[in-house]
Amino acid sequence: MSDLSIWLMILALGAGTFLIRFSFLGLLGGRELPDWLIRHLRYVPVAVLPGLVAPLVAWPDITDGALDPARTIAALTALIIGAWLRSPLGAIFAGMAVLYLVQFALQ
């Protein structure tokens, strides 16, 4: 790839990112959002967190994509604690604690 095409790609991606953010923050930032939209936005963190965690559990880089028992046990524990307590932070901390404990026990 030439330097020009790389810089054009960087500028296009930067403009796209700006427009996506501006469409929500710039155009709607000073207005009050409707209740139905606020109700739907409450589910964004709950939907994004599994999308970030699932690839790290199913195909961890540290094991070259092989299933890792420590991460699987920690993910299942976080899922159970999160469902039981209905607390994302409780699930995160429980999953981290179990991950480190199982990794320590398997060494």
d(CA 24, CA 33): 11
Closest CA to 57 of 48, 43, 70: 70
Q: Which whole number is the average pLDDT over 48-75? A: 86
Q: What is the pTM of this model?
A: 0.62
**Among 1-10, 45-54, 87-96, where is mean pLDDT lowest?**
45-54
Q: Which whole number is the average pLDDT over 21-41? A: 84
Average pLDDT of the chain is: 89
**How would you class 13 by CB atoms within 10 Å of its CB: exposed for 0-12, middle for 13-18, buried for 19 or more?**
exposed
Contact present, 88 and 82 (Cβ < 8 Å):
yes
